[in-house]
Amino acid sequence: MSIFVLMKVYPFKIPKPENSALIYQEDIELVFYDKLHQHDEIQISFIEQGKGTLLVGDSISSYTTNDIFIIGSNLPHAFKSEENTLEKSKMLSLFFTSKSFGDIFFSLDEFEEIRSFFDKSEKGFRITSNQKEIKHLFSKLKEATKMERFIIFLKLMKLISSSEFEYLSSFNYSKKYTDREGNRMRSVFEYTIENAHLPITLLEISEVANMTKNAFCKYFKKRTNKTYINFLTELRIENACKILQKSKEISINEIAFNVGFSNISNFNRQFKRLKKTTPTNYRNHLFG
């Protein structure tokens, strides 16, 4: 079941409700909406419950309960919940644009202290401090009137702007996908996420994109600022991290092969490159 307040998310396009500048939405699902999509609105989301894979721009990471994300205008993204769970995921979100309240609203001197929010949102970012206070504000949104919701929104903007953060994507994505491009990239990402544990050749994935291998490699690099192989490697390392977080019994070798690596040396090398530590140390840090 999904509970949508004022708006339903569609791939790559969100219809703007008439006479509503600020959009509040609740998603309550066994599996979140996992299609790659983008929209004009900036998105502030609080994960009340759930965990899974988060794709934003050119980067793969994970999300879990109590995470807070800001995703900028037209920044491609997807939330893919962990499957085989009986526990529903819940995400609370606010959507708005820099022009929602008038062309110059956020340019007024009164909003100088939150101006950095919009620059940071272009790459997307995760909040790493003040989570408790932000969670408290989100809890008030559902029962609030539109006026009260607007006041809460301004408080959230102020608090988020002064919070510590980490970027979700490594570069600014200003290009809006056409429907054709969107469908192509969505197919590529979906196929990769579903089959990352298997050998995926460039020829195979280029056929998914309905392109020649050379054309696909150039196309993917231009739109994500990284090679497809690097993207696939990052996804596999994120999947390895999830297994490491769940169990201290599975061997490192088994994890490497389970997520799609055929060579343990390469797995260890790529893990250290991306996570700045070894798989063993990563797990020891979690379990002590």
pLDDT digits (tens, 9 = 90+) for 173-190: 656 667 787 788 888 988
CB 36 within 8 A of CB 190: yes
Angle (deg, nearest 10), helices 179-195 and 228-246: 40
Q: How far out from the chain centre does Cα 212 lie? A: 29
| pLDDT band with cut points at 50, 70 and 90 for residue 29 | confident
Q: Does domain 23-167 correspond to CATH entry 2.60.120.280?
A: yes
Enumerate the β-bridge partners of residue 46: 68, 92
Q: How far apart (Å, rounded) are the C-alpha atoms in residues 8 and 17?
A: 10
- Segment 165-169 mean pLDDT: 93
Task: Report the predicted TM-score, pTM, of the whole model to 2 decimal places.
Answer: 0.79
User: Which amino acid is residue 206, in one-letter code?
Assistant: S
Q: How far out from the chain centre does Cα 81 lie? A: 11
CB 171 within 8 A of CB 194: no
Q: For 229-279, write each residue's pLDDT tens digit.
A: 999 999 999 999 989 988 888 999 999 999 999 999 999 999 999 999 999
- As its CATH architecture, domain 179-287 has Orthogonal Bundle (1.10)
Instruction: Name the residue ranges covered by the structural domains of the chain.
Output: 23-167, 179-287
Beta strands in the chain (DSSP E): 23-29, 42-49, 52-56, 59-63, 68-71, 77-81, 89-96, 125-127, 165-167
Which residues are CB-neighbours of 288 under 8 A, at least 6 positions away?
Answer: none
